[in-house]
Amino acid sequence: MSSINYSEKIPNNVNLSEDRTLQRALEQWQPNYLQWWDDMGPEGSQNFDVYLRTAVSVDPQGWAQFGHVKMPDYRWGIFLNPGDKDRKIHFGDHLGEPAWQEVPGEHRANLRRIIVTQGDTEPASVEQQRHLGLTCPSQYDLRNLFQVNVEEGRHLWAMVYLLHKYFGRDGREEGEALLERRSGNVDNPRILQAFNEKTPDWLSFFMFTYFTDRDGKFQLCALAESSFDPLARTTKFMLTEEAHHMFVGESGVGRVIQRTCQVMNELKTDDPARLRAAGVIDLPTIQRYLNFHFSVTIDLFGADQSSNAAIFYSSGLKGRYEEGKRSDDHILKGQSYKVLDVQGGMLVEKDVPMLNALNEVLRDDYIKDSVGGVERWNKVIEKAGIPFRLKVPHKAFHRQIGTLAGVKVSPEGHHVTDHEWNAKVEEWLPTDTDRAFVASLMGRVVEPGKFANWIAPPALGINRQPVDFEYIRFA
Ligand SMILES: [Fe+2]
Ligand SMILES: [Fe+2]
């Protein structure tokens, strides 16, 4: 079992004590990180004892230890999946060559950019979720929020480790910059737009962890294929934590839906006004939130045609989702892929070189994966006997990046005029009134076992604890 050494100042499984240069760099960064957590981490929570999971080993069967800890004392550190010294590159122009243990000079700039872009999302989401604890629907949910937050903090550590260890002085500068950018800040924003949006309420939080943390999963999966072995090993371990984040989102939205359906049946109505008066979130509003988060998230995969995507793949920096399980030649030269285009007011498919379309390939894999949970949400509605179904919108809906940027497309995938768009947009995307209504439901419920009116309790507690367990001991 590959366990993590917690006796050192910076917990790790990379023999940090034998690498003085790295140790010094990280020890300099650590107080700045803690300062950032203090400034931008979960508001007003530094003294709470939170029932958190801490990773203690990194093998696939690795177990996690649960216990009450104060978040600033969480054991952040450097944890890599065990390596395979004979690992070979399995895609791109270097196929069959040994994986890289150091950064090749010609790929240095691109690798640094990939690592910084991934790293930037981690503290960004903590910043976006900073105020949510003040309006939690239960202790159980509050604990889940904090678990996600500390793990995103650890993901930042993972990327900073790579920057410090392999990129020398500019890596250290990037490590500092990751603590200086701020989500939504006009002067120094986070790199990707979805990470500058607000996460103002818990429905947004659950949608974010379902959809946007799943983008994280797909990016990490693509990086876990990388020829740069330390990046592959680091991201593999991050993926084990990401699964819980998506669980928080999927089960959270599911419980909101369950509660709404219950009240719909009690009142025998689907009238949003009556349901809102009863203090639950009507299904059309949930659909609009879904439309928003889905469309903003699929933009994160980048332009549908991208020469950078081709370079990242051919040079072996970033693979496809489940690269190793695919049966093609893993070089992709001369192959094509279908992307969307707008011609004469119609959405049409066109063939483009696959290497240039790899962002779209990853986006399509993501879309397939994200539909699964929406179907499970529909099961909840179906079980309640209600004839309403949630749907992910067409991938051309509400896009800001690539060929489809700014093209007006309905959730069903019809190209519409500006006039039609303006007439319908309030049915398609959350309105100010929707957001104000959802915000009005956000109170603070912290008594063990109690839940806000707008959300059903979970079926099970965390780590087989009862649902009314004291997940947080308030100071
Ligand atoms: Fe993360
Ligand atoms: Fe995450």
pLDDT in tens, 412-428: 999 999 999 999 999 99
Task: Please tell me the predicted confidence (pLDDT) of residue 1.
Answer: 57
C-beta separation of 32 from 179 below 8 A:
yes
Q: Does residue 294 carry a pLDDT above 60?
A: yes
pTM of this prediction? Answer: 0.96
Place of tokens 């690795």: 62
| Confidence band, pLDDT 50/70/90 cuts, at residue 58 | confident
Residues near 66 by beta carbon (within 8 Å), at least 6 away in sequence: 51, 52, 53, 54, 462, 463
Q: How much is the mean pLDDT over the chain?
A: 96
Six-digit token string for 470: 């004291």
Secondary element (H or E) of residue 337: strand 336-343
Ligand 2 centroid distance, CA of 145 (Å)? 11
Residues in the chain: 475
Determine the pLDDT at residue 325: 96
Cα-to-centroid distance, 238 and ligand 1 (Å)? 7
Q: How far is CA 218 from CA 38, 156, 188, 368, 398, in A?
A: 30, 17, 26, 12, 21
Dist. CA 119 → ligand 1 center (Å): 8
Phi, psi for 353 (deg, rounded to 5): -60, 130
Average pLDDT over residues 367-386: 98
How far is the centre of ligand 2, averaged over its atoms, from the C-alpha of 184 (Å)? 19
**Is 90 exceeded by the pLDDT of residue 6?**
no
Residue 330 Cα, ligand 1 centroid: separation in angstroms?
Answer: 27
Q: In angstroms, what is the span from residue 116 Cα to ligand 1's centroid?
A: 13
* pLDDT tens digits for range 326-375: 999 999 999 999 999 988 888 999 999 999 999 999 999 999 999 999 99
Q: Which residues 6+ apart lie within 8 Å of 38 measured at CB?
A: 46, 72
Q: Match 């045609």 to its residue by tokens.
A: 305
Ligand 2 centre distance from Cα of residue 269 (Å): 37
| Interval between CA 223 and ligand 1 midpoint (Å) | 13
Dist. CA 231–CA 225, nearest whole Å? 9
% of the chain with per-residue pLDDT over 90: 91
Predicted pLDDT at 3? 84
pLDDT of residue 383: 98
How much is the pLDDT for 55? 86
**Whether residue 64 has pLDDT greater than 90:** no
Rg (CA), the chain: 23
> Does pLDDT of 42 surpass 80?
yes
Asked if pLDDT for residue 474 goes beyond 90, the answer is: yes
Closest ligand by atom to 205 CA: 2
Rounded distance from Cα 433 to ligand 1 centre (Å): 31
* Least-confidence region, from 49-53, 66-70, 240-244: 240-244
Distance 434 CA to ligand 1 centre (A): 29
Q: What secondary structure does DSSP assign to 122-168, as a single string? A: HHHHHHHTTTGGGG-S-HHHHHHHHHHHHHHHHHHHHHHHHHHHHSH
Centre of ligand 1 from the C-alpha of residue 122, in Å: 5
Q: Which residues pair with 342 in a beta bridge?
A: 347
Residue 61 pLDDT > 80: no
**Ligand 1 geometric centre to CA of 118 (Å):** 8
> Side-chain half-sphere of 440: how many Cα atoms within 13 Å?
12
126 Cα: distance to centroid of ligand 1 (angstroms): 10
Ligand closest to Cα of 155 equals: 1
Q: How far is the CA of 468 from the centre of ligand 2 (A)?
A: 25
CA of 328 to the centre of ligand 2 (A): 30
Q: Say how many C-beta atoms besides its own lie within 10 A of residue 400's C-beta.
A: 12
pLDDT single digits (tens) 259-290: 999 999 999 999 999 999 999 999 999 999 99
7 has pLDDT over 90: no
Alpha-carbon span 385 to 380, nearest angstrom:
9
215 C-alpha to center of ligand 1: Å? 10
Tell me the ligand closest to 213's alpha carbon: 2
For ligand 1, the distance from its centroid to the CA atom of residue 244, given in whole angstroms, is 11
Q: Please tell me the distance between residue 233's alpha carbon and the centre of ligand 1 in angstroms.
A: 15
Query: Tokens 């390939």 belong to which residue?
Result: 361
> From the CA of 145, which ligand is nearest?
2
Give CB contacts under 8 A, 24+ apart, made by 311-315: 311/110, 312/110, 312/114, 312/358, 313/91, 313/92, 313/355, 313/358, 314/92, 314/93, 314/355, 315/92, 315/93, 315/94, 315/106, 315/107, 315/110
- The ligand minimizing its distance to the Cα of 129 is 2
Ligand 1 mean position to 188 CA, how many Å? Answer: 21
Q: How far is the CA of 70 from the centre of ligand 2 (A)?
A: 20
β pairing state of 64-70 and 336-343: unpaired
Ligand 1 centroid distance, CA of 399 (Å): 24
CB 254 within 8 A of CB 380: yes
The arrangement of strands across the sheet holding 49-55 comes to: 64-70, 49-55, 472-473
Q: How much distance in Å is there from the Cα of 314 to the middle of ligand 1?
A: 26
Residues 312 and 314: their CA atoms lie apart, in Å, by 6
